[in-house]
């Protein structure tokens, strides 16, 4: 082995460790929101709130998340991305710990707003850092690896939380989870020091960003994909129980199993995109997710419904890392962070509105009609990509 090989290996190991650090930060960021569903019934009883009031907790988190995305760009003009990551992650740790002292609904809503705000600053800072550390030919794969974190979070965190509820209170669960978050924070301090941001914050060109039709198209696609992902995820148990005859435990079990495919699909989609092109892969992923969404609503047999649910939830998660990689390519170095924030904002709005819209449609017709409409939108949305020609 030549002497300079050691330098190459050291550089590669630093990049891998940096990727793992950001992965752990994203996992914790996402888990700070997915940890709530199993403990919400207990919180509802303790605070004596209505079902609507309890469900509003997610609305306040989404609202705070949207504000976090809006303020991410101004923050990046004054602070390094590493420092923003440190502050947002530390904020999430602190807020989760403060839930321990919650006694009123107002206290909860304020903390939920702050939690969402802190979480919203992550992606606009993390995605540009990833694209700076790795060459463009690997962006889809690297962001794909990074994008596996939400799927793993959705799969294991609610299960862990439900298990812990049998031995400790919900307050202790959130406190323990906040303490676990200190580990990736320490890793970030050690690994994110060099190289520094290469972006010159004062050169952000917002006018060129807002004039780029491709960014708005990706934002619309992000909104459609978010609705097909977490928007549908929020109502699937109700759909299965009320319209397909499932028991609630059976519906939750099927929903959990359907998320297994999402642990590997982002990586596979990333490799395909780096090989065959971003646009073609994005069209295929979005269109196929729409097809399987439609087939899911049309299925009357449990076996076929389970198969199409698995395919739909597995494929749609491959959209997001690919979208972020494409956004990074077209936005340019100086606008990469604001572009990611703008595109993600569409997704945040969709995640907040889609469950409400699906529930409203179900009150007047059925969940099938609403889910069918989301699937049709996903099938037609790739037509907007003609702007990339």
pLDDT of residue 375: 92
Q: Name which residue leads in pLDDT, 258 or 99.
A: 99
Q: Is the pLDDT of residue 202 over 50?
A: no
Minimum mean pLDDT range among 122-126, 215-219, 229-233: 229-233
pLDDT in tens, 360-388: 888 788 888 888 999 999 999 989 888 77
Q: Is the pLDDT of residue 188 over 90?
A: no
Residue 51 pLDDT class (50, 70, 90 cuts): low
Residues 259-269: what's their mean pLDDT?
83
pLDDT of residue 52: 57
Q: Name which residue leads in pLDDT, 48 or 367.
A: 367
pLDDT in tens, 11-44: 556 677 888 888 899 999 988 887 877 777 677 7
CA distance 308 to 232: 13
pLDDT of residue 285: 92
Here the tokens at position 113 are 């707003």
pLDDT of residue 61: 83
From the list 13, 7, 20, 10, the residue with the least C-alpha distance to 188 is: 20
pLDDT of residue 2: 52
Please state, in angstroms and as integers, the Cα–Cα distance from residue 86 to each residue in 23, 187, 212, 359, following that order: 14, 10, 31, 37
What distance lies between CA 138 and its chain's CA centroid?
21
The answer to whether 316 and 228 have CB atoms below 8 angstroms apart is yes
Is it true that domain 1-194 has CATH number 2.40.50.140? Answer: no
The answer to whether 323 and 122 have CB atoms below 8 angstroms apart is no
pLDDT of residue 166: 83
pLDDT of residue 1: 47
H helices present in 212-335, as ranges: 213-226, 232-233, 236-244, 248-257, 265-276, 278-298, 302-316, 319-331
What distance lies between CA 197 and its chain's CA centroid?
24
CATH topology of domain 202-389: Growth Hormone; Chain: A; (1.20.1250)
Q: Is the pLDDT of residue 291 over 90?
A: yes
Here the tokens at position 22 are 């950001």
Q: Is the pTM of this model over 0.85?
A: no
Please check whether the two domains, 1-194 and 202-389, share a CATH topology.
yes
pLDDT in tens, 109-158: 899 899 989 998 888 888 888 888 888 778 888 888 888 888 888 888 87
CA distance 244 to 52: 24
H helices present in 77-193, as ranges: 81-98, 105-120, 122-133, 139-146, 148-164, 170-180, 182-191
Q: Is the pLDDT of residue 197 over 60?
A: no
CA distance 1 to 6: 8
pLDDT of residue 56: 64
The answer to whether 339 and 217 have CB atoms below 8 angstroms apart is no
In the chain, where the domains are located:
1-194, 202-389
């Amino acid at each position: 082995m030549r002497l300079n090989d050691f330098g190459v290996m050291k550089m590669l190991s630093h990049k891998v460790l940096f990727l793992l650090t950001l992965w752990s930060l994203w996992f914790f960021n996402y888990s700070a929101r997915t940890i709530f569903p199993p403990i919400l019934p207990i919180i509802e009883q303790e605070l004596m709130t209505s079902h609507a009031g309890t469900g509003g907790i997610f609305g306040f988190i989404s609202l705070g998340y949207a504000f976090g995305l809006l303020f991410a760009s101004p923050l990046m003009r004054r602070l390094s991305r590493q420092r923003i990551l440190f502050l947002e992650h530390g904020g999430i740790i602190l807020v989760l710990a403060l839930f321990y002292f919650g006694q009123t609904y107002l206290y909860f809503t304020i903390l939920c707003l702050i939690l969402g705000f802190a979480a919203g600053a992550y992606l606009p800072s993390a995605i540009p850092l990833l694209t700076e550390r790795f060459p463009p030919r690997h962006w889809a794969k690297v962001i794909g690896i990074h994008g596996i974190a939400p799927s793993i979070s959705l799969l294991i965190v609610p299960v862990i939380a439900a298990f812990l509820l049998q031995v400790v209170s919900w307050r202790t669960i959130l406190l323990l989870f906040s303490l676990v978050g200190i580990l990736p924070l320490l890793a970030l301090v050690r690994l994110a020091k060099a190289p520094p941001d290469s972006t010159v914050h004062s050169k952000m060109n917002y006018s060129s960003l807002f004039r780029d039709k491709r960014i708005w198209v990706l934002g619309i696609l992000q909104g459609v994909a978010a609705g097909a992902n977490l928007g549908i995820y929020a109502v699937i148990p109700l759909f299965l129980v009320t319209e397909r005859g499932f028991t609630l435990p059976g519906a939750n079990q099927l929903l959990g199993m359907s998320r297994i495919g999402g642990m590997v699909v982002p990586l596979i989609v990333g490799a395909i995109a780096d090989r065959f092109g971003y646009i073609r892969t994005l069209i295929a992923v979005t269109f196929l997710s729409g097809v399987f969404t439609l087939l899911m609503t049309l299925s009357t047999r449990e076996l076929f419904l389970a198969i199409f649910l698995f395919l739909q939830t597995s494929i749609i998660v491959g959209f997001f890392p690919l979208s972020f990689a494409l956004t990074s390519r077209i936005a340019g170095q100086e606008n990469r962070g604001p572009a990611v924030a703008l595109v993600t904002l569409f997704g945040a709005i969709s995640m907040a509105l889609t469950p409400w819209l699906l529930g409203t449609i179900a009150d007047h017709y059925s969940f099938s009609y609403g889910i069918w409409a989301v699937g049709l939108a996903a099938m037609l949305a790739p037509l907007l990509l003609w702007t990339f020609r």
